[in-house]
Structure 1
Amino acid sequence: MSGKIPKYFINEILFRTDIVALINTKINLKKSGKNYQTHCPFHNDKTPSFTVSYEKQFYYCFGCNAHGNVIDFLMNYEHLNFIESIEELAILHGLDIPFEKKNIIERNNYSKKQKVYSLIEKLSNLYKKNILITNTPYQYLKKRGISNNMINFFSIGFSSSTWSAFSKKLNISKKFEKDLLNQKIISINQYKKIYDPFQGRIIFPIFDQHNRTIGFGGRSINNFSPKYINSPETNIFQKRKQIYGLNQVIKKYKKPEYLLVVEGYIDVIMLTQYRIKYAVSSLGTSITKEHIQVLFRNTDTIIYCYDGDHAGRDAAWRALKITLPYISDKKNMKFIVLPKDEDPDTIVQKEGREKFELRINKALTMSKYFFKNILKNIDLSSNDDKFHLSVRTLPLINSIPSDTIRIYFRQRLARIIGILDDNQLEKFLYEEERKNENVTFQIKKTPMRILIGLLIQNPCLSELVPSIKKFKNIKIKGLSIFLEILKTCLNNPTFNTGQLLEFYRDKKIINIIKILSKWDHMIVQEEIQNMFTDLLKNIYKKDLEQKRDDLISKERLIGLTKYEKEEIWSINKKLCKK
């Protein structure tokens, strides 16, 4: 994968990026000695085991074994592929990716994406301009109670009922129109007329984390169906991943104490207008696991506040089931149950900010909401109902990764259905969980592996090697890998561990490099150089001993030449010095 982007550019990106600073924008790091630590974002971590090294530009979790450089972190934390991770870092540093000429497809895809970003941004500005000069949609928003400040803050726009009217009113150029057609942002209908999929609709631009417009939501103002539509899926817009309003929240609050998830665009806008913080929406669609991952990357608490009708209650229960596998001792969810036929938009206008904030403060905890719902229409005096309850509920409880929360839920369920012996339940749970414990693969520590590991973790040690030629004819297992890495370090004297990992990402030896990059050698920092040089001397010494032993064996069998006898003498002399 990395071959599609020049190595020099990847190295430049890694050189410019401070892994500590970047990770600290996602999760809070605390200084611990010369490194930084926090709870691991990749598993349910009870004590901080996630370590980030500024010196090595490398992260490692002692709990789940997650490790790598800043590119690996983005791939695993943000769920990006390799090229998307490079794009993220390129945007951070204001750089364009110089794809290799032979990789025409990737280069074209990247150029197309940049073109689409530009076109959508321009179109969004036209929509925004149009709403200010078109009375009907403007009055519609006013009637809904939306202020001018919110229209500007959320960049709300309007697409006229026909493209020709829109184009003429805003003086759209033929070139821009042609570009929109080529990128299929607008199209031509069966009557050979240019057609905007959003025409006749209020436009809600959707932004990514870099504040780029990536798509739109549209709401009809004449009640034609469907009421709401979103942009089609593209290489820059995936509905299952996008959260409306999140960009506006994160710009103001780095780590909000919660995110209030509502159903619609106008719900988000109206709550924001009433100074209800942290309101976001999943684009009017059902919540997905990708949405959950995005939400929990930005907060520790999700509060669901769906409409008070039957569809809203169903949506809340679906959200609970999808969120359970992401719950931990630090990540949780709550629920606000609105009165029948109310939604966040209408109720905040009726009640005002203070009363709505009381609803937030009194939001139902996950366990209260869970058991309140599963006990609906259950007759606990009926064994059949108890059996049905346990069959329906246990798979949901078992999906919770947190041991503490899962056991609590099981115990509560057990008491509800009449199992009172908690000790028996705990014994069963312990035995089951023991069966599923992961056994970490260990490889034996040898002097050569320690030597390679020290070099990977401290590439500057390559300066201590007097000459690669000295090891040219030595035959020791693993030496070829050491010399390969040594050569790379000498050719790239500024490399850190993160850059070294990236250099070998697609090479055969990457797996052994990954394993050795996280080894704890139990050597104090001050003694690393001495240990490294001692191991180097040991390799050379072993080679000399092997050559001497071979010559002695030969002497016993067939005798030695004068030159070979002199060689034994020379070897013994060298060994005496060591």
Structure 2
Amino acid sequence: MSLPPAFLDELRARVPLAPVVGRRVKLVRAGREWKGCCPFHNEKTPSFYVNDDKGFYHCFGCGAHGDVIRFLTEQEGMGFIDAVKQLAAQAGMEVPSESPEARARAEVADTLQSLAGRAAEWFQTQLRSTAGAEARAYLDRRGVSAAMIKDFALGFSPDSRTALKTALKDAGEDKLVEAGLLGRSDDGQTYDRFRGRLMFPIRDRRGRVVGFGGRALGDIQPKYLNSADGPLFDKGRLLYNLDRAGPVAHKSGRLVVVEGYMDVIGVAQASIAELVAPLGTAMTETQLALAWRQVDEPILCFDGDGAGQRAALRACLRALPLLAPAKSLRIATLPPGEDPDDLVKRGGAPAFEAVLAAALPLSEYLWRSETEGQDTATPERRAAVRQRLKVHADAIADPSVRALYAADFNARFDALYFARPERPPRQPFVRGARYVAPLAGASPALRSRGLGNQTASGEVTALLVGLLTHPGLADRHGEALAALPLSDPRQAELRDAILSALAVRPDLESDALNADLVSRGVGGLADVTLKSNRLRFSFTRKDAPAEATARDFGMMVDTIAARTRIELELETATARFRSSLEDSDFERQQALLAERVEIDSAMMRLAESLRDD
């Protein structure tokens, strides 16, 4: 049975070799590798080495050599397919069924990779030619050295619709289109996809060219253009420079994610090699997984402008469902208006290292993004901050990490907004001085009243006070009120008692309604509600105009109902995204979060406009 090379490559990438070998061989760390006594021959001095970066083992004693699949077939006697199935189950992958189509796809992938490699060599030749003068001048202005041009295999695509097509005409136009090197117009004509661009070869983890990024040199849009997604290239599953940065990251314990190709190259000139970049898109879940395979806490270092910081925050939000014990991110913030290449040119490697050293843990970054620069002068605005922090914690799938994030956010929120004033130090008694008794604490009645009201919604309390003050409001809004799911059972009990009383006697005035509630056994609850309300709206005042009271009461009911709906939908969307990690589910969750933030803002505006200050 023949399996697609792309599937086998993915399987080898997902299953680290050392843990598999370690089930049979006692391995010890030896620099970037592991070593132990060879399982294929008898030896007392270890000469058997396992390299996780390159995915192979080698014995210098007997010459045994292979990858994770071969280890199972040679050492454990498994057939090839059985070994693949076991490893696929371990990696959570489905083994593709053998078919003529699968064999054809495997052959196509090999052919396309070969074409991409040939194209990379041709682009490099063009950069060195007379036609590449403009590209060489651009690299010179950017300060890219000849060594970097060679190391990163930079090239140039002439401003021609047929130059590459002619150079690789033996491959056939259909194959070149499939490899993402040619485009096809609506009338079926083919043309060079990359024209007048500086070319950056994009390699897979094993160092094979699978696509290109092209940077426009003239007035061409878009500024950056990637190979088209296809059988060979998938921009969401690759990281630029991972084949070179991965081994260095394993050794240094650090991997830095920057925004663009030139950032990687510019910083590499300062001898900082463990940099990768997404391919012009927001970080995907697959790219995050690739980064986590190298180190436990990759550093995001995006540009200091608004777009760069939005990209960093979006990557953080995508990472939340994937967090696990020891797997997180750190976020480094560049000076405003600078990218990594600019920073290195201005201050050299020390300037960039200083930015990385100041990188924030993910939890700290999220906390600051939600609290710094925010107007939290009112309880409603502080509640909105707390709610956004809760959404971040709830997005984490791992229960232990989720609980710790929630606890951390809650503790910091309480410390920031509910900190008690420090008690002044006790002064020693001085003989002859006048004795001053210490201030007494809150009375038991006051403490019990505060504690008893902690779970109640302040907005719902205000609505209930509105009904007690203006019973006629139930005529228009009673049905909407009855449909509100109230989490506090006392609020629900009082709401139901009020609506029941007014259903029987719609003409009840305030005093008569309160007397009716006493007969129903909830008079004390009504009294506590009236006394505990801290929100002063038009509908909570007896002397407010009837028109304003009815309008404002309806606005409050509608806003609470909308927020309740959004909370339920957001909970469902977050759970769906945790399990699927699909872009569409992520976008739905983010849209609902934005809608919820807008509703919270509307609630704050309503509360502030109606509060009796």
Specify the alignment match of 1:280 in structure 2. Answer: 276
Structure 2 unaligned blocks of 5 or more: 29-35, 40-70, 420-450, 456-613
* 8 A Cα contact 2:177 2:184, kept in partner: no
Correspondence 1:176 to 2:171: yes
SS state at 2:273 partner: coil
Specify the alignment match of 2:87 in structure 1. Answer: 73
Which among 323, 336, 347 is matched to residue 327 of structure 1? 323
* 8 A Cα contact 2:248 2:274, kept in partner: no
Specify the alignment match of 2:152 in structure 1. Answer: 154
Correspondence 1:118 to 2:118: no
Letter in 1 for 2:169: K
Which among 189, 201, 216 is matched to residue 205 of structure 1? 201
Following TM superposition, by how much is the alpha carbon of 1:180 offset from its aligned partner in structure 2, in angstroms? Answer: 4.4
Following TM superposition, by how much is the alpha carbon of 1:340 offset from its aligned partner in structure 2, in angstroms? Answer: 1.3
Specify the alignment match of 1:563 in structure 2. Answer: none
Q: For this pair of structures, how many residues does the alignment match?
A: 365
* 8 A Cα contact 2:165 2:192, kept in partner: no
Following TM superposition, by how much is the alpha carbon of 1:129 offset from its aligned partner in structure 2, in angstroms? Answer: 1.2
Following TM superposition, by how much is the alpha carbon of 1:382 offset from its aligned partner in structure 2, in angstroms? Answer: 2.1
Specify the alignment match of 2:136 in structure 1. Answer: 138
Taking structure 1 as reference, are residues 160 and 5 closer, same or farther at Cα in structure 2, changes over 3 Å only? closer
Specify the alignment match of 2:380 in structure 1. Answer: 384
Q: Which string of whole-angstrom CA distances, capped at 9 and with x for unpartnered residues, describes residues 17-42 of structure 1?
A: xx984646999x9659999xxxxxxx
Taking structure 1 as reference, are residues 5 and 120 closer, same or farther at Cα in structure 2, changes over 3 Å only? closer
**Which of the two has higher C-alpha Rg?**
2
Which among 351, 358, 363 is matched to residue 355 of structure 1? 351
Letter in 1 for 2:284: T
Which among 218, 229, 232 is matched to residue 236 of structure 1? 232
Amino-acid identity (%): 27
Specify the alignment match of 2:608 in structure 1. Answer: none
- Equivalent-residue separation in structure 1 for 2:119 and 2:209 (angstroms): 10
Specify the alignment match of 1:128 in structure 2. Answer: 124
Letter in 2 for 1:363: A
Correspondence 1:269 to 2:254: no
Letter in 1 for 2:171: F
SS state at 2:355 partner: helix
* 8 A Cα contact 1:203 1:217, kept in partner: yes
Q: Which string of whole-angstrom CA distances, capped at 9 and with x for unpartnered residues, describes residues 308-331 of structure 1?
A: 111111111111111122223322
* 8 A Cα contact 2:256 2:299, kept in partner: yes
- Equivalent-residue separation in structure 1 for 2:397 and 2:297 (angstroms): 16
Specify the alignment match of 1:487 in structure 2. Answer: none
Taking structure 1 as reference, are residues 71 and 223 closer, same or farther at Cα in structure 2, changes over 3 Å only? farther
Following TM superposition, by how much is the alpha carbon of 1:199 offset from its aligned partner in structure 2, in angstroms? Answer: 0.9
Taking structure 1 as reference, are residues 126 and 81 closer, same or farther at Cα in structure 2, changes over 3 Å only? farther
- Equivalent-residue separation in structure 1 for 2:185 and 2:301 (angstroms): 39
Which among 293, 308, 311 is matched to residue 307 of structure 2? 311
- Equivalent-residue separation in structure 2 for 1:222 and 1:257 (angstroms): 40
Q: Which string of whole-angstrom CA distances, capped at 9 and with x for unpartnered residues, describes residues 424-448 of structure 1?
A: 9xxx9xxxxxxxxxxxxxxxxxxxx
Specify the alignment match of 2:446 in structure 1. Answer: none
Letter in 1 for 2:387: V
Following TM superposition, by how much is the alpha carbon of 1:362 offset from its aligned partner in structure 2, in angstroms? Answer: 1.7
Letter in 1 for 2:299: I
Q: Aligned Cα RMSD in Å?
A: 3.8
- Equivalent-residue separation in structure 2 for 1:374 and 1:352 (angstroms): 33
- Equivalent-residue separation in structure 2 for 1:149 and 1:181 (angstroms): 30
- Equivalent-residue separation in structure 1 for 2:110 and 2:360 (angstroms): 44
Aligned pairs for 1:180-191 (under 5 A) are 180-181=175-176, 183=178, 185-187=181-183, 189=185
Specify the alignment match of 1:82 in structure 2. Answer: 95
Letter in 2 for 1:82: V
Structure of greater relative contact order (alpha carbons < 8 Å, 6+ residues apart): 1
Letter in 1 for 2:170: K
SS state at 2:214 partner: strand
SS state at 2:200 partner: strand
Following TM superposition, by how much is the alpha carbon of 1:164 offset from its aligned partner in structure 2, in angstroms? Answer: 3.9
Taking structure 1 as reference, are residues 256 and 243 closer, same or farther at Cα in structure 2, changes over 3 Å only? farther
* 8 A Cα contact 2:115 2:176, kept in partner: no
- Equivalent-residue separation in structure 2 for 1:166 and 1:107 (angstroms): 28
Which among 403, 406, 409 is matched to residue 410 of structure 1? 406
Q: Which string of whole-angstrom CA distances, capped at 9 and with x for unpartnered residues, describes residues 134-153 of structure 1?
A: 21111111111111111111
Letter in 2 for 1:399: A
- Equivalent-residue separation in structure 1 for 2:346 and 2:302 (angstroms): 17
Specify the alignment match of 1:399 in structure 2. Answer: 395
Letter in 2 for 1:73: L
Structure 1 unaligned blocks of 5 or more: 36-51, 59-67, 84-98, 429-578
- Equivalent-residue separation in structure 2 for 1:26 and 1:271 (angstroms): 37
- Equivalent-residue separation in structure 1 for 2:335 and 2:168 (angstroms): 50
Following TM superposition, by how much is the alpha carbon of 1:375 offset from its aligned partner in structure 2, in angstroms? Answer: 0.8
- Equivalent-residue separation in structure 2 for 1:394 and 1:250 (angstroms): 35
Q: Which string of whole-angstrom CA distances, capped at 9 and with x for unpartnered residues, describes residues 92-128 of structure 1?
A: xxxxxxx97xx32111111111111111111111011
* 8 A Cα contact 1:256 1:299, kept in partner: no
Letter in 1 for 2:142: R
Q: Which string of whole-angstrom CA distances, capped at 9 and with x for unpartnered residues, describes residues 508-535 of structure 1?
A: xxxxxxxxxxxxxxxxxxxxxxxxxxxx
Specify the alignment match of 2:464 in structure 1. Answer: none
- Equivalent-residue separation in structure 2 for 1:263 and 1:406 (angstroms): 28
- Equivalent-residue separation in structure 1 for 2:176 and 2:374 (angstroms): 57
Q: Which string of whole-angstrom CA distances, capped at 9 and with x for unpartnered residues, describes residues 280-326 of structure 1?
A: 00112101111111111121111011011111111111111111222
Following TM superposition, by how much is the alpha carbon of 1:253 offset from its aligned partner in structure 2, in angstroms? Answer: 5.0
Which region of structure 1 is more displaced relative to structure 2, 388-397 or 251-260? Answer: 251-260
Taking structure 1 as reference, are residues 25 and 384 closer, same or farther at Cα in structure 2, changes over 3 Å only? farther
- Equivalent-residue separation in structure 2 for 1:222 and 1:186 (angstroms): 20
Letter in 1 for 2:381: D
Letter in 2 for 1:160: P
Letter in 2 for 1:226: P
Q: Which string of whole-angstrom CA distances, capped at 9 and with x for unpartnered residues, describes residues 139-177 of structure 1?
A: 111111111111111111111000445567xxx253235
- Equivalent-residue separation in structure 1 for 2:181 and 2:377 (angstroms): 60
Specify the alignment match of 2:211 in structure 1. Answer: 215
- Equivalent-residue separation in structure 1 for 2:255 and 2:364 (angstroms): 19
Specify the alignment match of 2:31 in structure 1. Answer: none
- Equivalent-residue separation in structure 2 for 1:413 and 1:224 (angstroms): 47
Letter in 2 for 1:225: Q
* 8 A Cα contact 2:249 2:255, kept in partner: no
